[in-house]
Chains A and B, each alone.
Chain A
Amino acid sequence: MISFAMTDEQEAAREAVRGFAADAMRPVARAYDEASAIPDAFFARAWELGLTATQIPEAHGGYGAARSPVTNAIVLEELAHGDAALALAAVTPTLFAYAVADHGTDAQRAAYLPALCGERFQAASLAVNEPAPGFNPLAPRTTASRNGKGFVLSGTKCFVPLADRASRFLVVARHGDRLDAFIVPREAPGLGIAEPEKNLGLKALSTNTLTFDGVRVPEDDRLGGSRGADIARLLNHCRVGVAAVLNGVARAVLDYCVPYAKERVAFGEAIARKQSIAFRLAEMHIEIESMRWMVWKAASELELGADATRSAHLARSYAAEKALWIADNGVQVLGGHGFIREHPVEMWYRNARTLGVLEGIVSV
């Protein structure tokens, strides 16, 4: 049924995180970006929102709310409106937790979920991206080969969020002609965690390159056990997630540009009163709205258990293209000020460019 109506719970969730984004994220975003680090206090405060525990079953220590990709997409847009890097940091544990909750065996759920639903912040992460041109998440170069009853992982992963704090990783690898994901603790022999990466955008979010040099994984730690897991579906959740984050970044840009353009005077009137600026702002608004409905459509298909591959792909590629266009034009609306780090727009421009090429960085 075609309906754009949010549930009462979704409205409430949106309000709650909107306040957090405005009070606890936006004011510190620039400082953390400059420092390329997020203090522990932020993680502790974000943890109180229960972002990870909410949709984990009570039996595994969570709050037992229904898994809802739509709600998560709504929440991610709001968090990213505060700051994309902090948003990703706050929800990185869900990358691991949702994958295990959705695809794991009962034993895997029981073993790994309670720790991510405790009172104190706990990190676990997902390793999808690889540092070679031609990267395709459906055809990774990282491989898993049979070794007796278990597997051996070889390859390199990059842009693994919060790898400096994560206790374990879910690693996507090619296994023959199929895709699988493997649970690897950070102490695993053969796993190398390199120095923090230095990136164009999302600078506050720590990311690392991981090298797998013959890392042994027991059969029980293949996601989904002997059945394996539908990794394409897992990646679809991630694509919708990143599209929702891009949606939030794009909205942040427009919300900043509107008052600026109404205040900035040139040739005797506010620049917003000139069609070349006003139409650009209108165009930004059109695209922010349109991309949101694409995110919602893909998320609702995921929620209903349908194959959302096409919708998720379209939502992500559209959001990536348009959010970058919006951030790019945001810089232009501010002119020279758009280039200066006193304003956040140059940061959003870097963030939009960065987010648009990442896979498996955030999930719904």
Chain B
Amino acid sequence: MIDLNPSRNDQRVLDAVREEALVARRYARYYDENEHEFPPDELPEAKDRPAFMSHLTGRSEHDAGMAVLTTLIAMGQTWGDYSVRMRRNDRGLGNAALQAAGTDEQKRRWGDLVLAMAITEPGCGSDPSLVRTTATRDGDHWVLNGEKIFVTTGCRAEGVVVWATIDRDAGRAGIKSFLVLKGTPGFVVAHKEKKLGIRADDTAAYVFQDCRIPRDHLLGGNEEIPKESSGGFRGVMKTFNMTRPLVAAIGLGMAEAALDFTRDALREAGVDITYGGTLHGQSAAAERFIRLEALFEAARLATLRAAWLGDQGQSNNMEASIAKAKAGAAVREITQGCIEILGPMAVSREHLLEKWFRDVRITDIYEGTGEIQRLIIARTLLGYSRNELR
């Protein structure tokens, strides 16, 4: 039966998330202004609170599946702050890659570590066939050489999943994922980036110089180069079907915070927002605000749709891209629009709105830009291959 509101049980979980998000929000400004500091793994206020998992008991088939719930929780958490959380029980993108591509043995060995994901290089972003980092077999080892940039959580992570090519002539088919643990000789965290937003979440640059890792650190263990047409690369890309709705949700949580802040400020200023009428019953500010709310709803529901398909075990390749493309554009427009509605007060660092405006901007860039998402959607829609639509 179609119902797009959370169950009572789901709402209970989300209420708990909201409470913790409010605490995290108190620290949001500090870690934005002090980019060199890491938020602690646990805020002092977390000590006396029940463990978060205790809210997840007593769930039934009438409650949301895990992908939908995770999406809602991510939205609720980033409503507080993008990267300050009450407790750091989160994992990196590398963990999603391990789950998608690793063997059972590998998942057991490394599943409890915080794993970052290193894909981007100075000369390669959206087009992974340009990856220059190499992995060369040498007996029972792989030897990695190359540079990686824009590694999210790269400083704090305990290990990293690295994309490297085992045969440069093979293009995308030659790319494999390798797990490298921190402390491995030849693996250096070169520096931490200074960013427009999401400053409390570190972004690292790595250098691999004759970095030797054991042969069984190749994720999935398959050393063969698949034929380009066999879709071997698609397995690597599958990670993104799981993470793209999540990335969308992370951006949407901040956009929702911006909307809530703007609604409260308008109300305080005596601007009524009413539904059910037409343009004529509304001030320009209220009308503009409602349009942004509608945009938020559209992106939020597209994201839940992608997650829900995942919970049903249905293919969601296209829908994951729809969620990411829609949310990526929506959060930009929403935060830009909220600032315009509120005027000069909105650009003051006294308030968090200017921070949300900066923080959400990455949503349409990382884990596949909006343009890449549209490419994926258009190919599916038109029945075109990668070569037919570039």
Contact = CB atoms under 8 A, between A and B. Distances in A.
Interface of A: 1-7, 10, 70, 133-139, 232, 235-236, 239, 258, 261-262, 272-273, 275, 278-279, 281-283, 285-287, 289-291, 293-294, 296-297, 299-301, 304, 306, 309-315, 317-318, 321, 359
Given A232-B276, A300-B2, A1 B63 contact: yes
B308 A3 contact: yes
Contact of A2 (B3, B294, B298, B299): B3
A281 B381 contact: yes
Contacts of A4: 2, 4, 304-305, 308-309
B6 interface: yes
Given A273-B389, A297-B301, A2 B4 contact: yes
**Which of A278, A281, A301 neighbours the largest number of chain B CB atoms within 10 Å of its CB?**
A278
A229 to B, nearest CB: 15
27 contacts: A1-B6, A1-B63, A2-B10, A2-B64, A4-B305, A134-B280, A136-B278, A136-B281, A139-B281, A239-B276, A258-B381, A275-B375, A275-B378, A278-B375, A278-B389, A279-B378, A289-B319, A293-B298, A294-B297, A294-B301, A300-B4, A304-B3, A312-B276, A313-B275, A313-B276, A317-B294, A318-B295
B280 A1 contact: no
A288 to B, nearest CB: 10
Given A272-B382, A290-B326, A318-B295, 9 more contacts: A1-B7, A133-B280, A136-B277, A137-B278, A138-B281, A311-B297, A312-B276, A318-B294, A321-B294
Nearest 5 interchain pairs by C-beta: A293-B301, A313-B275, A278-B378, A290-B298, A297-B4
A262 B379 CA distance: 12
Given A273-B388, A294-B298, A301 B5 contact: yes
Contact of B299 (A3, A6, A290): A290
A312 B293 CA distance: 12
B173 interface: no
B7 to A, nearest CB: 4
Contact of B1 (A3, A136, A314): A3
Interface string B288-303: 0011011101110110
A282 B378 CA distance: 5
Contacts of A317: 290-291, 294
A222 B378 CA distance: 53
Nearest to B304: A2
A3 B6 CA distance: 9
Interface of B: 1-7, 10, 62-64, 68, 72, 275-278, 280-281, 290-291, 293-295, 297-299, 301-302, 304-305, 308-309, 312, 319, 322, 325-326, 371, 374-375, 377-378, 381-382, 384, 388-389
A239 B293 CA distance: 17
**Which of B6, B10, B378 neighbours the largest number of chain A CB atoms within 10 Å of its CB?**
B378
**Which of B62, B276, B322, B388 neighbours the largest number of chain A CB atoms within 10 Å of its CB?**
B276
A360 B306 CA distance: 33
B82 to A, nearest CB: 24
Contact of B2 (A3, A262, A313, A318): A3
Nearest to A70: B2
Contacts of A1: 3, 6-7, 10, 62-64
Contacts of B64: 1-2
A337 B1 CA distance: 42
B280 A2 contact: no
A285 to B, nearest CB: 5
A239 B4 CA distance: 18
A144 B369 CA distance: 57
Contacts of B375: 275, 278-279, 282
Contact of B302 (A139, A290, A312): A290
Given A285-B381, A318-B297, A5 B302 contact: no
B68 A2 contact: yes
**Which of B7, B305, B319 neighbours the largest number of chain A CB atoms within 10 Å of its CB?**
B305
A281 B318 CA distance: 14
A285 B373 CA distance: 12
B1 A2 contact: no
Contacts of B280: 133-136
Contacts of B277: 136-139
Contacts of A281: 378, 381-382
Contact of B297 (A262, A275, A282, A297): A297
A175 B280 CA distance: 20
A167 to B, nearest CB: 30
Contact of A273 (B2, B6, B290, B384): B384
Nearest to A232: B276
Given A281-B382, A282-B378, A296 B302 contact: no
A278 to B, nearest CB: 4
A310 B278 CA distance: 13
A114 B298 CA distance: 40
A291 B276 contact: no
A135 B29 CA distance: 46
Contacts of B293: 314
B298 A291 contact: yes
A313 B4 contact: no
A73 B309 CA distance: 21
A286 B378 contact: no
Contact of A286 (B7, B377, B384): B377
Contacts of B4: 2-4, 293, 296-297, 300
